[in-house]
């Protein structure tokens, strides 16, 4: 019968090692059942599971490998594997695979310990751990962003409790943790739909308009309650808009020019466009400001509320249908259909309660620096990093950034 042997090699990495090792195996018609490699700080850890056919005895293969690896100053360990052990392991590889993404300003051991403890408690086994972000500089006290990705297998008995546990420790440690199925869609997204106010930009435009109209405190109070989900969006929007009646049209341009993009927004959009993604703003804000961002960032689609203006004055109304939560979800589906993609290939990003219907329709819905109600209701949340942290949720790596 054939023999199964697990070989583990470690030591300083050198060019051509894989070719040399497998070249020796090839002389004995060895079959490769599994292979994996990791290099950290030029130190190699290399594993390979082989099947040695009956006509090729294991001793000559192991002897030749041992001699060559010793000459290369590499450590090696051989472990025989039974057919039953292999079969049990192979069947386990067919279990569901998930990706756990840890996002932080700086990765600490405690963070990895807490995340891995939760995965183990929920019956998930870690297959791989990969750092997606750039290696930190020792001279830099505060790194801009850091990301470690865990590939895990298993079937969590209670996925909602798993997400709740991740959300709990994320709040405790000031990190973000995403948990998503490693499906064909994770690296095949095609469209990203953004809310505008407090998502792409760091302000609520209607509050800026209210300040110009002298009703800032009144409108800001209503805005806050609406974003918390305490008020119906359409009703609160109409109330706030009515308070702007008589505002001079000339103030709009000044506000548009003062709008600041959210941290990471420009990098994210630039990267998405280079990767062929389509982008959209679907906002409960105003078209005037969304068009300004469209020109600035190269956004493909814009849907927002048309601020009605007569004789150079804001009327306190909008022209056409109000873009509320349900309308946002509908527009997301319409854009996806126009682009001939499934909703699983859509990423949606927003911060308010009126974004939840849109987030629930997307394959990847992200609550960005959102209110507690929204964070708890959305499947994914980013609170500690900038908007470009979304790139890591789709498997974007440090080296990918050098090409965009």
pLDDT in tens, 277-309: 999 999 999 999 999 999 999 999 999 999 999
Q: Identify whether 195 is a catalytic site residue.
A: yes
Four-residue CA torsion sign, 14, 18, 21, 27: negative
Handedness of CA 121, 126, 130, 132 (dihedral sign): negative
Long-range contacts of 389-393 (CB under 8 A, 24+ apart): 389/103, 389/145, 389/147, 389/176, 389/264, 390/192, 390/268, 390/347, 390/349, 390/366, 391/268, 391/271, 392/101, 392/103, 392/132, 392/133, 392/147, 392/149, 393/101, 393/178, 393/180, 393/364, 393/366
Q: What is the pLDDT of residue 143?
A: 55
* Intervals of the chain under pLDDT 70: 1, 56, 94, 140-143, 399-404
Q: 155: closest CA among 94, 95, 215, 74?
A: 95
Answer yes or no: are the C-beta atoms of 233 and 354 closer than 8 Å. yes
What is the predicted pLDDT for the residue at 403?
Answer: 47
- Given a contact cutoff of 8 angstroms between Cβ atoms, the answer to whether 284 and 323 are in contact is yes
Residue 233's DSSP bridge partners are none
pLDDT for 135: 82
User: Any catalytic annotation for residue 54?
Assistant: no
Catalytic residue from among 165, 176, 197, 324: 197
- Catalytic entry in 195, 207, 324, 355: 195
Whole-number Cα distances in Å, 56 to 8, 27, 59, 62, 396: 21, 9, 9, 11, 43
Number of helices (H) and strands (E), helices first, in the chain?
Answer: 16, 15
Distance CA 42, CA 232 (A): 57
* pTM to 2 decimal places: 0.85
The residues, any chain, with a CB within 8 Å of residue 296's CB and separated by 6 or more, are: none
Distance CA 130, CA 242 (A): 52
Task: Confirm if 359 and 235 have CB atoms less than 8 A apart.
Answer: no
């Amino acid at each position: 019968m054939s023999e199964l042997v697990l070989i583990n090699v470690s030591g300083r990495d050198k060019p051509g090692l894989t070719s040399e090792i497998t070249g020796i195996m090839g002389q004995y018609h060895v079959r490769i059942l599994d292979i994996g490699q990791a290099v950290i700080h030029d130190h190699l850890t290399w594993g390979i599971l082989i099947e040695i056919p009956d006509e090729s005895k294991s001793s000559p293969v192991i002897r030749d490998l041992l001699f060559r690896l010793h000459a290369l100053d590499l450590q090696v360990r051989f472990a025989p594997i039974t057919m039953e052990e292999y079969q049990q392991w192979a069947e386990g590889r067919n279990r569901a695979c998930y990706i756990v993404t840890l996002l932080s300003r700086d990765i600490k051991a405690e963070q990895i310990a807490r995340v891995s403890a939760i995965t183990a408690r929920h019956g998930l086994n870690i297959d791989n751990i990969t750092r997606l972000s750039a290696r930190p500089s020792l001279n830099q006290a505060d790194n801009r962003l850091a990301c470690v990705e865990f590939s895990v297998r298993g079937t969590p008995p209670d996925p909602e409790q798993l997400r709740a546990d991740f959300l709990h420790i994320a709040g405790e440690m000031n990190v973000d943790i995403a948990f998503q199925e490693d499906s064909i869609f994770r690296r095949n997204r095609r469209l990203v739909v953004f809310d505008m106010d407090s998502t792409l930009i760091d302000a609520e435009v209607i509050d800026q308009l209210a300040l110009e109209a002298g009703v800032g405190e009144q409108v800001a109070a209503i805005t806050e309650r609406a974003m918390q989900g305490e008020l119906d969006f359409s009703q609160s929007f109409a109330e706030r808009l009515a308070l702007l009646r008589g505002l001079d049209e000339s103030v709009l341009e000044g506000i548009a020019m003062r709008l600041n993009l959210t941290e990471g927004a420009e990098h994210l959009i630039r990267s998405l466009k280079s990767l062929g993604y389509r982008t959209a703003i679907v906002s409960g804000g105003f078209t005037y400001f969304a068009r300004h961002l469209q020109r600035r960032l190269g956004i493909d689609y814009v849907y927002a509320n048309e601020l009605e203006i007569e004789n150079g004055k804001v009327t306190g109304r909008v022209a056409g249908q109000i873009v509320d939560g349900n309308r946002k979800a509908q527009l997301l589906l319409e854009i996806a259909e126009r682009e001939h993609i499934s909703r699983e290939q859509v990423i949606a990003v927003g911060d308010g309660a009126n974004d939840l219907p849109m987030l629930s329709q997307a394959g990847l819905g992200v609550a960005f620096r959102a209110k507690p109600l929204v964070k708890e209701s959305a499947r994914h949340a980013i609170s500690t990093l900038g908007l470009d942290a979304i790139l890591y949720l789709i498997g974007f790596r440090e080296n990918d950034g050098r090409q965009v």
